[in-house]
Structure 1
Amino acid sequence: MANLEAQHAAARDRILKHMNADHGDSVKRYVEHGKDASFLQARDARMTDISLTEMRIRYGGKEAVIPFEPPMKSMREARERLVQLDKEAREALGRSDISITEFIPCTAHLGHFMNFTTCLITYALFCRSGNFRPGSVLFDNVLVRFPQFTNFCFSIQPYLFPIMIAIHSVEAYMMAQKMKRHSVTPVQRPWWLWVGTCFVEGVTSFWRLGGLIDKKRKQKEAKVH
C-alpha cells in the first residue's frame, strides 16, 4: 500500500513539473476555457495538484478545480486526459495547436530588413509636411538639392502618411488576432515585438511568422512519427 502511494506521489510530482515547465500554455487554456478566465487572470496559472478525479490550478489569486469525467483509473491515463482537455479548450477558444513563444526579427532576412527600414524612414519623413519646406533640418541639409522631388513629396504627404497609418494599423490588428490564435497575449514580450514590428513593416512580418509556424508544425509532426 505504501509503495502504491509512493508511486502515485512520484507520478503526480512528475506531471506537475512537466506541465508547469513545458506546457504552461495548456495550463492557462484550462482555466480560460474551464473557468471563463481572461488572459490577464490566467497569465500566472500553475497546476498545483492532480489526482485521479481532478486537477487544481492556481491563477490570479484563485484556485480552479477541474474534474476528470469520468475519473481516471490510474495516473498512466493523465497524459491522454490532459491532451484531450487541451484539445477541447483550444477548439472552444479558437486556438491553434501551435504556440508561439519566440520572435524572429526582420534582421533575419535581408529583404525584410530593407522593407522595415524603408517603412520606418517613410514614417519619419512623411509624418509632417514641414519636413519638405525650408527651415527643417531635412530640407536645409538634403532636400534643397532636389527641388522637384521635394515638391512631389510635399504634395503627397497629406495622403501618403494617413493611408500608410491606416493600412499598417489594420495589419497590426490582424497580427494581434494571429497572436491570440497562437496563444500569445499582450502580457508577453513576443506579442509586442510581433505586433509592433508589423505596424512598421506590414506584410513581411507575416511571412516570418508563417515560416516559424511551419517550422514548429514540422517539428511537432516529426515527434509524432
Structure 2
Amino acid sequence: MAKRSKPQTEIPENPSTSSKIPFRPQKILKLTTTTTKLTIFPKTLSPLTSQSEITLALNHLRSSDLQLSGLIDSYTPPSFDSDRPPFQSLARSILYQQLATKAAQSIYTRFVTLCGGESLILPETLLSLTAQNLRKIGVSGRKASYLHDLAEKFTDGTLSDSAILEMDDESLLTMLTVVKGIGAWSVHMFMIFSLKRPDVLPVGDLGVRKGVKMLYGLKGLPKPLEMEELCEKWRPYRSVGSWYMWRYMEAKGVL
C-alpha cells in the first residue's frame, strides 16, 4: 500500500474472513462481449471470500477482456479478506485518509490502544473520547469530528453493522456518504476490501484510472462515464478488474 490520499489509492491491508453477506441466488442471463455464448451469473453474487469465487471471476475476465487476461497471468490471484466488522473498518478508513501508510499505521495503533483494543472500537467508545483525547494521538480535529459523526450515526440507528451487510451497493453509497468525511471513493474501497463485493468499479480512483488508460492505450485519463463504458466487459467482477489495475500500476512504479 502506498500513500493514502484521496483520490489516490492505498490498497487496504489484506483482510481475512468477516461475516458473510446473506444472498438469495437468483439467475439472470449475461452475454459476454467476446463470444455469443450465454453465461449464467447469479443475480446477486457471493462475496469474494473463497478461491472458487475468485476462480470464477478470473475465468470470466480472461474470456471477456484479452488485454486484462495478460495481466491476470502475470500476477498471483487477488485476495479480499477482512476480519473487521463494518464500524471498525469505516473508522479505520477515516483515520487513514490523506496520510502516508507509516503515519496512518502509527496513528491507528495508538487509536486502538486508546480504545482499549480493536474489539472495543465501538460507537459508544468513540463517543466517550473527546476531540482533545484524539488530538493527543495525532488525529486532526476534523477527523475527530468525522469519527464522532460516524459513531452518532450508528448510535441513533441511521446505520448498523447488520444493516450495512444487507444493503445493496446503491443503498450503501447513499447511506454511507451521509457520514461526514466519507465520500464515494471511501465507500468504493469499503465495499471492495471490507465487504468483498465483486462488482464495484471505483471510477474516481486515480490508480484504477491510470491502469485503464495504460491498458487500453488511451491518450488521457478516462472520465467516470468512459470508465463505465470501457470496464463494462468486466461486469459482474469489476472489483477484481480494478484490483489488477492497482497491481499493474504498482509494477510500473506509478503507485
The answer to whether the superposition gives a TM-score over 0.5 is no
Query: So what's the TM-score if we normalise by structure 1?
Result: 0.26
Higher relative contact order (CA 8 A, sep 6+): 2
Comparing both structures, which one devotes a greater share of its residues to helix? 1
| Rg comparison, structure with higher value | 1
